[in-house]
Amino acid sequence: MEGAGGGAAYPSRTAEEVFRDLRGRRAGMIKALTEEVEKFYKLCDPEKENLCLYGYPNETWEVTLPAEEVPPEIPEPALGINFARDGMNGKDWLALVAVHSDSWLLAVAFYFGARFGFDRETRRRLFNMVNNLPTIYEVVTGVAKKQAKEKTPNSSSKSNKPTSKVQSRVEPRSSSKAKVSAPKDEEDSGDEDGDEVEEEHDNTLCGTCGTNDGKDEFWICCDNCEKWYHGKCVKITPARAEHIKHYRCPECTNGNSNKRLKP
Of 86, 85, 108, nearest in space to 25 by CA: 108
Strands 228-230 and 52-55: unpaired
Query: What tens digit of pLDDT does each residue of 237-262 get?
Result: 888 888 888 888 888 887 644 444 55
pLDDT at residue 168 is higher than 70: no
User: What mean pLDDT is reported for the chain?
Assistant: 77
Instruction: Yes or no: say if 212 and 203 are a contact pair by the CB < 8 Å rule.
Output: yes
Confidence (pLDDT) at 233: 86
Alpha carbon 117 to its chain centroid, in Å, reads: 22
pLDDT band for position 166 (cuts 50, 70, 90) = very low
Query: What tens digit of pLDDT does each residue of 56-102 get?
Result: 999 999 999 988 877 888 899 999 999 999 999 999 999 999 999 99
pLDDT at residue 187 is higher than 60: no
Count of beta carbons in the 10 Å neighbourhood of residue 1: 13
Tell me how far CA of residue 239 lies from CA of 76, 184, 218, 231, in angstroms: 48, 22, 11, 11
